[in-house]
A and B are shown apart, each in its own frame.
Chain A
Amino acid sequence: MDVTKSKAQADFPGEIHETAGGGIVLSKLDEVINWARSNSLWPLTFATSCCGIEMMSVASAKYDFSRFGFEVARATPRQADVIIIAGTIVNKMAPVLRRLYDQMADPKYVIAMGACAISGGPFFYNTYSVVKGADHVIPVDVYIPGCPPRPEALLHALITLQGKIKAGLTREQIKETSFLNP
């Protein structure tokens, strides 16, 4: 049987050998699963302030995050697997955010978009109502600075999250290896 190695898709984790009447794929199952997951992330329709407007812009035609596999925005956490915290989280919103996160099916990922979601941002000092960083409430995978961040920054964060999922590492392992800057 004649086995030839084909030019597989650049980001597919494995080898594809085309043979007569079919083909053979060589890979690790974990890597294929991570590859599939990273290219089909469903974000939750969740925004608490002005970063949400920027997020909508990224979803719309001009920036279009569906190019990277994020087009299926879900209105229910039970069908979403990535939550973009786009905006300020106040003390009253914190338990709601926690519940939304808990209702999302595993595996789930969190992006903290903008200064408010990272640290409280402009509301860090002298305020009685704002949570000083969404990571006090739920674990965060990717942080995007900015007030609000540029749409390109959100796209970068989404791609970074995909890289993180493809690497399949824990938070601590990522700190050690840093797959983005090998």
Chain B
Amino acid sequence: MLNEELKIKIAQLLPAIEFEEGGEWLNIHVPSEAFRSLIVSLRYDAGLDFDYLFCLTAVDWKTHFTMVYHLTSTIHRHHVVVKVKLDRNNSEIETVSDIWRTADMLEREVYDLFGIKFLNHPDLRRLIMPDDWKGWPLRKDYEDPVNMIKL
């Protein structure tokens, strides 16, 4: 499906969605409270069928976080990038690990490095850093006087 057709179809799901165009992929900004229901629709609605989550990451903008999900459909060969703005002081979002199994590890990685909590995640532990590590290393305001040399 072309980006334009995809845009029309997704706009029908939720009026509050903002679109961002100009890139190769269609970018959509979703309010965090509507995120879970929308992502279920993207996965299971006929004609959308986003059955493959190929990237899950987060961005720290200093004022807020953005969760970024890259989805693709192996059936229809179309792609979408879902972005969700999160409050920096209370960063929580519903898990998608029950929809795409790969999100289990990816969400653990994001939790490990950004400290974003994934609600209803089956096993939210640190993935890469040692279990007793303090803090969230990829946050922009992260400081570590032992390992870090400040410029």
Residues in A with CB closer than 8 Å to B144 are 128
Please tell me the size bucket of the interface on A: under 10
Residues in B with CB closer than 8 Å to A132 are 149
Q: Which residue of A has the minimal Cβ distance to B146? A: A128
A interface majority secondary structure? loop
A63 within 8 A of B: no
Cα distance A125–B151 when bound, in Å? 6
**Those of A127-172 within 8 Å (CB) of chain B:** 127-129, 132
**Would you call B149 and A129 a contact (CB within 8 A)?**
no
Cα distance A162–B43 when bound, in Å? 61
**Would you call A126 and B150 a contact (CB within 8 A)?**
yes
A70 within 8 A of B: no
Q: Chain B nearest CB: distance from A20 CB in Å?
A: 69
Cα distance A126–B151 when bound, in Å? 7
Cα distance A128–B151 when bound, in Å? 13
**Would you call B147 and A126 a contact (CB within 8 A)?**
no
**Would you call B149 and A91 a contact (CB within 8 A)?**
no
B148 within 8 A of A: yes
Residues in B with CB closer than 8 Å to A126 are 148-151
Cα distance A124–B149 when bound, in Å? 7
Residues in B with CB closer than 8 Å to A129 are 137, 147
Residues in A with CB closer than 8 Å to B151 are 125-126
Q: Which residue of A has the minimal Cβ distance to B128? A: A92
Cα distance A91–B146 when bound, in Å? 12
Q: Chain B nearest CB: distance from A44 CB in Å?
A: 25
Cα distance A98–B37 when bound, in Å? 50
**Would you call B137 and A128 a contact (CB within 8 A)?**
yes
**Would you call A128 and B149 a contact (CB within 8 A)?**
no
Q: Chain A nearest CB: distance from B22 CB in Å?
A: 31
Q: Chain B nearest CB: distance from A85 CB in Å?
A: 19
**Those of B105-151 within 8 Å (CB) of chain A:** 137, 142, 144, 147-151
**Would you call B150 and A128 a contact (CB within 8 A)?**
no
**Would you call A125 and B150 a contact (CB within 8 A)?**
yes
**Would you call B149 and A125 a contact (CB within 8 A)?**
yes
Closest 3 CB pairs of A and B: A125-B151, A128-B144, A128-B137
A residues engaging B (CB < 8 A)?
91, 124-129, 132
Can you list 19 A-B pairs, Cβ within 8 angstroms, ordered by A? A91-B147, A124-B149, A125-B149, A125-B150, A125-B151, A126-B148, A126-B149, A126-B150, A126-B151, A127-B147, A127-B148, A128-B137, A128-B142, A128-B144, A128-B147, A128-B148, A129-B137, A129-B147, A132-B149
**Given A91-B147, A128-B142, A132-B149, list of 15 further CB < 8 A pairs?**
A124-B149, A125-B149, A125-B150, A125-B151, A126-B148, A126-B149, A126-B150, A126-B151, A127-B147, A127-B148, A128-B137, A128-B144, A128-B148, A129-B137, A129-B147
